[in-house]
Amino acid sequence: MTTQHVRLTVNGEAREADVEPRLLLVHLLRDVFGLTGTHIGCDTSNCGACTVHVNGRSAKACTMLAIQADGTQVTTIEGMADGATLHPLQQAFWDQHGLQCGFCTPGMIMQAAWLLGQNPRPTEAQIREGISGNLCRCTGYVNIVKAIQQASGQLAVDVSAPGKAAETIEATPAS
């Protein structure tokens, strides 16, 4: 078994590894670098749970070899928050209850981030088209779309939304 050396930047940090050419990018991220926020859903290029950015372009990390990402800049869900401050999309998914089981969420957020980079104020139709390569088995698309609308400044944060309520409950010490 021959390995080849890859160097890439993941979430701003220089990383390297010896990999078999057949190793998939998603396995490099999860199993070698321990970045398990990138999920493997279908493993057949359909569901988009493994969506990351490679040189700023959204990609399905199950459909790219680790070695193809040699020399690139990769961003995963772990690279979105700024310390304890959630990325606006993460905050919006919270506020709008844009997740149920949460499995598709990292991929949804990464694809939404790419979409908003291309088109900062997409229409609802453009949002739906933009996330058409990401599947939510809970079918929670309505709130996912709302979250993306909020993150793009097109929908006010509803303080009575479930996310806000949860935040309040969490912040209250148990009596």
Binding site for another protein (CB under 8 A): 1-2, 4, 20-22, 24, 43-46, 48, 51, 57-60, 62-65, 67-68, 70, 111, 114-115, 129-134
CB of 130 to another protein, least distance (A): 6
Distance of CA 50 to the CA centre of its chain: 8
d(Cα 30, Cα 166) in Å, to the nearest integer?
A: 29
CB of 14 to another protein, least distance (A): 20
CB of 89 to another protein, least distance (A): 16
Q: Which is nearer to another protein, 10 or 112 (CB)?
A: 112
CB of 168 to another protein, least distance (A): 36
Q: Identify the H or E element spanning 14.
A: strand 13-19
Backbone angles phi, psi at 105, to 5 degrees: -60, -50
Q: Which is nearer to another protein, 60 or 97 (CB)?
A: 60
What six digits make up the tokens of 108?
């949804």
Q: Which is nearer to another protein, 71 or 153 (CB)?
A: 71
d(Cα 60, Cα 134) in Å, to the nearest integer?
A: 10
Q: Which is nearer to another protein, 7 or 165 (CB)?
A: 7
Q: Are 43 and 28 spatial neighbours (Cβ–Cβ below 8 Å)? A: no
CB of 28 to another protein, least distance (A): 13
Q: Which is nearer to another protein, 18 or 129 (CB)?
A: 129
| Cα–Cα separations (whole angstroms), residue 13 to 10, 59, 101, 113, 175 | 5, 19, 30, 20, 43
d(Cα 126, Cα 167) in Å, to the nearest integer?
A: 30
